[in-house]
Chain A
Amino acid sequence: MENLVCKCGHKNPPGTILCESCGRSLTEEEQSKKLADMRYEGTARRSQTYNKSIIDKIWNFFSSVKVGVGIIVVLLVAAAIGTILPQAQYVNVPVRNDATLQAYYADVYGEIGKIYYFLGLHDMYSSFWFITLVGLLAISLIVASLDRFVPLYRSLKNQRVLRHRSFMNKQRIYAEGQAPDDVLVKAEEKLKELKYNVTLDKNGLLAEKGRFSRWGPYVNHIGLIIFLSGVMLRMVPGFYVDETLWIREGETRAIPEAPGYYLESEKFTIETYSGEGDEELFEDALDRVGTVAKNYQTDIVLYQTPEESLPGATDEMEMMKEESIRVNQPLKFDGYAVYQMDYKLNELRAMTFDLTDKETDASLGTLTIDLVKPEDSYDLGNGSKVDLLGYYPDFSGFENGEPQTATPVPNNPGFLVRMYTPETPEGEVSFIVIQDTIEPLGENQYKLTFQSAETRHASGLTIRKDRTLPILGLGGLIFMIGVAQGMYFNHRRFWIQQQEGGTVLLAGHTNKNWFGLKKDLDQVSEYASLPVYTDQQEEVEKKEKLDKEQKVEGDELR
């Protein structure tokens, strides 16, 4: 396409509606309008100019507001569908895999659950198509902004003071009439007082205020793009850590994904509201709902191994911090944060048994099995001994005659033992779980009788490191600045020209808040004795209304 040459001699890029230099209308359509289309200063937007190649078509697609809003609406509806049933991450299944999740949705929610799972809606927000939708929105944000921002910026940067008469009289605020000779000087004075930037050129004046508000939409879109790129960065290794650590009272454990750091749990505390003393006013509420948790807390000590020590070597650990981790008060160190997320009360620590004669109940000695570090053999003295042949911390049943354990956590410990006594020197085999004893190789003479158990609490901690947070914060901040910039400020301009013979042309434009613009103009008009202006938009509307009424009256007469 060729450049458009205006009558004033200025070469405009193809697609321009209003001449960049003098403001004359360049298209027939625009020429026939009563008021100029000032939305993007009549500049050539790529999307409105080219529509040949495939790239043009893609560009035009994404630069359209209609398409942008369409993507927003599809996202909105999809997001809503994802809340009909709980997402998989909030569902409680004993073992988490596809099969158990599928079974869960089918069992609990019936046919709807099956369909929901089948469509992948149980894990919708991380699905390929949902992320693609967000990506499309991001592309639309970028393309639509560039399509508008670039020509608008060029146009506002290069704007001329003197505009053609046809540009002036197609502005919404317009005046033409006699004025005193010092009109420009006085207008300049008053406009400067009202904080306008005033430029003079020959017989003309351009006053401008708040141009930066025109960048508001693009600034807030940049904020959103920064936010979304921050979210994408989390997929890059090293930017994001999310680990779970179960730690029991008295234990010291390496913090996962935080090399060199160790955590010791001194104590886990859970408190509930008592409804007494200070809390008496909560009595009614507590009566109604039962117990309410007041505090979950793990008292910890943080250690670090010196840098030169070997990985895993803990003998030279240095204490860094002694602190309490509570909900809303994570432990923070070196970019990591450790959160109080879960707990388990009274986890088995050790179990004590008596070796007894089944008939006489006489005890041959006592043994205590440490459930974290069990020993292979326990010598009870006097020729009695118990060998631990197998230990199953979380016994879940037999498979092919072999005892199985579901997890390494001592929730339901099972012991396969061989008991030796002076009377049974070849030993008797027994399998013991809580409340039950199995004698796989025939009737025994002796048994292990449960005496007592030692318990302790366990804390479920989450370890996070998220180096994208500053990026997300920056994105949010820029978004808010952009929104405020675009919404709470406006771009006001006045053009004044002194013609030969004392006639003055005046035009005014703002991107919004015409009321404010008129208030400014009233002050300037009074001071500089400018001709009386009209709001041409209102004139047009009044005329339309009048036409309509006359038409109705005409209809009635007929």
Chain B
Amino acid sequence: MTLPELSSSLLYVAFIAYLIATFVFGGAVKGNKEGSFKSEGRWGKIAFIITLIGFIAQLGYFFTRWAATGHPPLSNMFEFTTAFGMTLVGGFIILYLLYKTPVLGMVVLPVALLIIAFASMFPSEVSPLIPALQTNWLAIHVSTTVIAEGILAISAGAGLIYLLKVVDMEKKSKQRFWLETIMYSLIVVVGFVVASTYFTLTDYQAEFTYINKDNAEASIEYNMPPLVGMNEYTSLTEGAMEPLLETPAIINAGKVTTVLWSFIVGTILYWIIRLIARKRIAAIFKPFLKNVNLQLMDEINYRSVIIGFPLFTLGALIFAMIWAQIAWSRFWGWDPKEVWALITWLFYAAFLHLRLGKGWQGEKSAWLAVAGFAIIMFNLVAVNLIIAGLHSYA
């Protein structure tokens, strides 16, 4: 087995371990009848050990890939997103050691699984570094940032548990709507993974030529049936689906198509689950959360932010500025990725001021933590894939 092969096998092992651990954590929480914390402790411990095995395997993936390529695997969408899944689990491990809360594992691990699955939809072969990335700052800046984001994401996990417990799913309210929207958007990510996997396995391909924004002819390959066509497109593949509508030249219809398929598959999945369960997705979790200590969740939420925020400042702003000064001759250039790192930082600064200065604890804090995660995900996904900038390495 070559080093890159070993590396990807280890990632598989990690994925499977997280998957198993999710269910064992779920069992630990569910099996725990009110008042008896023994079974929670025992099964929680087993689930935690499985998580640790997975985490060690993923560290193995990370370092064997580093050894194979000679550079830290943090250089493209697949590598960064996978590492984000890893630091999320790492953050969970730290907070589990502090607070021993299986319920956090039950919520955080599936999110980590989703992130790793999402990552593997991007090209995963080992690729060489462009000149701008050939420096130790790649390891320093990106690893600090991804660790900080992993820990900040834990605060969102704790916030989500808090909300799942306190928001009344029986009565119509804004809170109920937004909480269900969060659950729905997680399922849309599942939809993306399912759709991409299906069309990759069936080897779907359709080629088109079109007129790009500079009025030149260009070509594009769709890996999903083209729901939306490029500007003045012509199909080159026989029997390919006729796009339902045409977009202006500045819009990449290939990406729009992917997003649409994710929503279609995600929505179908959502309704299947909802109809089988006969309740909203957020309500399904209620029975698991009977014994959740809300104060503890609030504490975990806050603790993760005060660990994550200084790390984020260091990695995503200070180290980023030092590197930008070396590589691009200016420490700050209002590149979209930079701007969104600043937005993330400002958001958590506001979070801390509201919490410490205005007493926004409990539910308000929980909503803020979830919103912070949404901003981090936006910076990861949308800024890389939609908004073009210096950081679009994927």
Contact = CB atoms under 8 A, between A and B. Distances in A.
30 contacts: A68-B353, A69-B354, A72-B346, A72-B350, A75-B346, A79-B342, A86-B387, A86-B388, A86-B389, A89-B333, A90-B335, A109-B250, A110-B250, A273-B128, A282-B127, A282-B128, A284-B125, A285-B126, A288-B123, A292-B127, A292-B130, A293-B131, A327-B134, A328-B137, A341-B329, A466-B325, A469-B331, A480-B314, A484-B310, A487-B306
A499 interface: no
Nearest to B333: A89
Nearest to B318: A476
B356 to A, nearest CB: 8
Contacts of A109: 250
B334 A82 contact: yes
B347 interface: yes
B139 interface: no
A15 interface: no
Contacts, number: 124
Nearest to A341: B329
Given A82-B334, A82-B339, A66 B132 contact: no
Given A341-B329, A464-B330, A469-B325, A288 B125 contact: yes
Interface string B355-389: 00110000000000000000000000001000111
A16 interface: no
Contact of B131 (A80, A282, A295, A330): A295
B343 interface: yes
B318 A480 contact: yes
A38 to B, nearest CB: 14
Contacts of A294: 128, 131
A438 B76 CA distance: 53
B314 A69 contact: no
Interface of A: 65-66, 68-69, 72-73, 75-76, 79-80, 82-84, 86-87, 89-90, 108-110, 125, 242, 273, 279, 281-282, 284-286, 288-289, 292-296, 326-328, 330, 337, 339, 341, 462, 464, 466, 469, 472, 476, 479-480, 483-484, 487-488
Contact of B329 (A273, A337, A480): A337
Interface of B: 4, 68-69, 123, 125-128, 130-132, 134-135, 137, 213, 248-250, 306, 309-310, 313-314, 317-318, 321, 325-331, 333-336, 339-340, 342-343, 346-347, 349-350, 353-354, 357-358, 383, 387-389
Given A65-B358, A288-B125, A328 B313 contact: no
Given A339-B328, A472-B331, 4 more contacts: A69-B357, A76-B347, A82-B334, A89-B334
B150 to A, nearest CB: 18
A286 B131 CA distance: 15
A464 B329 contact: yes
Given A65-B358, A83-B340, A480-B314, A328 B329 contact: no
Nearest to B214: A108
A83 B343 CA distance: 11
A185 B248 CA distance: 82
A285 B127 contact: yes
Given A281-B126, A327-B134, A79 B343 contact: yes
Nearest to A482: B310
B214 to A, nearest CB: 9
B310 A480 contact: yes
A328 B327 contact: yes
A483 B132 contact: no
A487 B135 contact: no
B36 to A, nearest CB: 23
Given A65-B353, A66-B358, A72-B350, A83 B387 contact: yes
A483 B309 contact: yes
A76 B350 contact: yes
Contacts of B310: 480, 483-484, 487
Contact of A480 (B131, B313, B346, B387): B313
Contact of B326 (A273, A288, A330): A330
A328 B130 contact: no
A282 B132 contact: no
B353 A108 contact: no
Contacts of B358: 65-66, 69
